[in-house]
Amino acid sequence: MDTTESTTTSSTSTRSGFGWVMLSITRIALGFYFLWAFLDKFLGLGFSTCRTTAEDGSFTIDSFCDSAWINGAPITEGYLVYAGNVNSPFHDFFVDLGGQRWTDWPFMLGLLGVGLALMLGIGTKVAAWAGGLMLLFMYMTQMLPSTNPILDEHIIYILTIFAVVWVELEHQSIGLGRWWRGLVGEKSWLV
């Protein structure tokens, strides 16, 4: 009588080149999401900034209009004061913040920094925390979402950024991550 168990092993690769590339592309896409928001608000490229929509649904784009940050427009005021959910428990807090011009600087620098870091693959841990915090604040302005009592796209983006950044730390297919890790050395929080 044979008392040894026979086990069947399959040799499936635990490292998928395609998977790593897709993680890098997802990181880059998330970075572009932030970078584009910066560029549109900074220059007024006509997507969320400098676009006028008529009652019939048609729209006109006035690039570099007075609503662009480069022309001195208050960037955070529009979102925090007018676009938030009035039923959010944090509505009054964010409306008060939206009227203060100093909030434009951390918001715009955050969009630029997170966007560049994620796109280039450098400083991705810092970018994940900064981007996650920015998205959490945006979520708080919209609480409670109308289509789902808990989740909206901000929470999904937060989870995606953290998942992609921490999984991709092991192997970054696209980006300057390997060079950056060599540059920052033992300071792993800067990776």
Evaluate the CA torsion angle 69, 71, 72, 78 in order and state its sign: negative
Domains in the chain, number: 1
**SS3 label, residue 33:** helix
Give the domain range for residue 59: 24-181
Query: How many CB atoms sit inside 10 A of residue 159's CB?
Result: 13
Q: Looking at the domain assignment, is residue 13 inside a domain?
A: no
Is position 102 within any domain?
yes
Residue 91 in domain: yes
Helix (H, G, I), strand (E, B) or coil at 117: helix
Q: Which pLDDT band, with edges at 50, 70 and 90, does 11 fall under?
A: very low
Whether 77 is covered by a domain: the verdict is yes
In which band, very low, low, confident or very high, does the pLDDT at 78 lie, cut at 50, 70 and 90? Answer: confident
Whether residue 5 lies inside any domain: the answer is no
Q: What is the pLDDT of residues 84-108, one digit of tens each?
A: 888 889 989 999 998 898 999 999 9
Round the average pLDDT of the chain to a whole number and report it: 86
Determine, yes or no, domain membership for 187.
Answer: no
Using one digit for the tens of pLDDT, what is the confidence trace for 92-151?
999 999 889 899 999 999 999 999 999 999 999 999 999 999 999 999 998 887 788 888
